[in-house]
Amino acid sequence: MSTNRRSFIRNVALGSGALASVVPSAAETIQHIHSPAEFNMCGYAAPKLPVVRVGIVGLGMRGPGAVDRLSYIEGVEIKALCDKFPDRVEKSQSILLKKNLPKAKAYSGEEGWKALCESNEIDLVYITTPWHLHTPIAVYAMKNGKHAASEVPAAKTIDECWELVETSEKTKKHMMMLENCCYDFFELLTLNMIRNGLFGEIVHAEGAYIHDLSRDYLFNKNAYAEMWRLKENIQNNGSLYPTHGLGPIAQCMNINRGDKFDHLVSMSTNDFTLGRLADEMAAKDAFFNEYKGKKYRGNMNTTLIRTNLGKSLMVQHDVSTIRPYSRIHLVSGTKGIAQKWPGPERIAMGHGWMKQEELNKLKEQYTPPIVKHIGEIAKNVGGHGGMDFIMDWRLIDCLRNGLPLDQDVYDAASWSAVFPLSGQSVGNRSKSIDVPDFTRGAWEKNKPHDMTLTGGGNTGVRPVAKSEN
């Protein structure tokens, strides 16, 4: 969003005495009327790249895995590695050297990523940094002529969402959010079933990120550098990490391609665990003194989204109570339902769940081409059971063959927008908040994109041994 437009919206809101929570509605209206899209990135196919030269920024929690996975894909050259801490760069260099691949150019320091983005030897900047750097790096990469792929969420604020959209449209460079859960096996299976009309019209869906991160990650000094993710849980409330559950079901419901998010309401519990854990940790280790006495976000957040066509989505977020991992992944249509968590994968076409034998036959019939093509190799390479590798392979195959990406910048913006908008709703007694239309009306004509296919399908993989995982 341009500075002038931001100022104008802010002045309108303040001049009318409006609460901050109404700004997204104003932003949507003003954007739609006064700033039409320069170019529609939905369905856009960038020129083919016979070789995709990649620079990876952020080599802490997620980066080394990306280095490993990308090194298997034919047509990829890992040209640059960057992290704030030089020792992390060197550790990731060893991944390349063990595979007899050329050493990448090293960048480090607070703004080493800028030099990487400016390099003429890079086609794709792959971003696996702390959240607050996702948008700045992606925008800088696109402005320097590079495609960008960012870990989730792609943006933390509505202004950042608009900045991603406008920069991608202006530069005609892809900005893909690396939502790996869209490429998990059951998620791809249900999407293929939906594309084939098995569940009828999808009217409701549910997703979540329920994963207890409190002791092993949030309060682990050796996990997230400088405790950045714990700090996110102090600074923000709402659904901080919505896209793992939301992305797959949004695709099932053709969001931004025939329908769009219209408005949401969000509610959080109080915090019953993080503050107490901070006190407990501080009593044992003075390092944690700065984290005690803080107000942490509520444990469970539930966000309800209504679409323009009158359908609904529920998204939950809880990373701080003791519950088994769940993304729910429930899609409910006029003819049937599918659900993955809790419990086993289930499908029903009536009042009862299918028996395993019947379910297996259905899976065999509707396993999508992309899984048949790369699924077993993906399982051997690894990355959350293989879904990370399917995502990376698919991204590279599309770039090499000049095909549209499965997730475009409008998806990155609308899925990520749930983070700040849910916080606004929580802060205003679960007030209804409009979701901006980042497509500026193009959603009505945009066509659903079938990511269950293999794309070009001519991107090979070097031999993978299970012992390499």
pLDDT > 70 in the chain, percent = 91
Give the pLDDT confidence of 377-400 residue by residue, as tens digits.
Answer: 999 999 999 999 999 999 999 999
pLDDT at residue 450, rounded to an integer: 78
pLDDT > 90 in the chain, percent = 87
Which ranges of 353-386 does DSSP label H, i.e. alpha helix? Answer: 356-366, 369-381
Is 155 within 8 Å of 337 (Cβ atoms)?
Answer: no
Q: Kindly indicate the confidence band of residue 60, based on its pLDDT and cuts at 50, 70 and 90.
A: very high
Alpha-carbon distance values, 415 to 71, 245, 373, 407, 421 (Å): 29, 10, 28, 10, 11
Phi, psi dihedrals of residue 362, rounded to the nearest 5°: -65, -40
275-288 mean pLDDT:
97
Q: Kindly indicate the confidence band of residue 120, based on its pLDDT and cuts at 50, 70 and 90.
A: very high
- All structural domains of the chain: 3-34 (no CATH), 182-370+409-444 (3.30.360.10)
Q: Which residue has the higher pLDDT, 27 or 453?
A: 453
Is 140 within 8 Å of 113 (Cβ atoms)?
Answer: yes
Phi, psi dihedrals of residue 348, rounded to the nearest 5°: -135, 140
pLDDT higher than 80, residue 468: no
Identity of residue 238: G
| Measured distance between the N- and C-terminal CA atoms of the chain, rounded to whole angstroms | 42
Q: Kindly indicate the confidence band of residue 465, based on its pLDDT and cuts at 50, 70 and 90.
A: low
Give the pLDDT confidence of 64-101 residue by residue, as tens digits.
Answer: 999 999 999 999 999 999 999 999 999 999 999 999 99
Report which secondary-structure segment, H or E, holds 45. none
Sheet with 337-339, side-by-side order of all strands: 346-348, 337-339, 330-333, 202-210, 312-318, 301-307, 261-268, 433-434
Give the pLDDT confidence of 322-347 residue by residue, as tens digits.
Answer: 999 999 999 999 999 999 999 899 99
pLDDT at residue 466, rounded to an integer: 54
Give the pLDDT confidence of 225-270 residue by residue, as tens digits.
Answer: 999 999 999 999 999 999 999 999 999 999 999 999 999 999 999 9
Q: Kindly indicate the confidence band of residue 144, based on its pLDDT and cuts at 50, 70 and 90.
A: very high
pLDDT at residue 38, rounded to an integer: 81
Q: How much is the mean pLDDT over the chain?
A: 92
Coil vs helix vs strand at 210: strand
pLDDT higher than 50, residue 150: yes
pLDDT at residue 56, rounded to an integer: 99
pLDDT at residue 34, rounded to an integer: 37
pLDDT higher than 90, residue 19: no
Tell me, what DSSP letter sits at residue 435? P
Question: How many Å apart are CA 43 and CA 407, to the nearest integer?
Answer: 10
pLDDT higher than 90, residue 10: no
Q: Crossing angle for the helix pair 23-34 and 158-171, nearest 10 degrees?
A: 20
pLDDT at residue 409, rounded to an integer: 98
Give the pLDDT confidence of 183-196 residue by residue, as tens digits.
Answer: 999 999 999 999 99
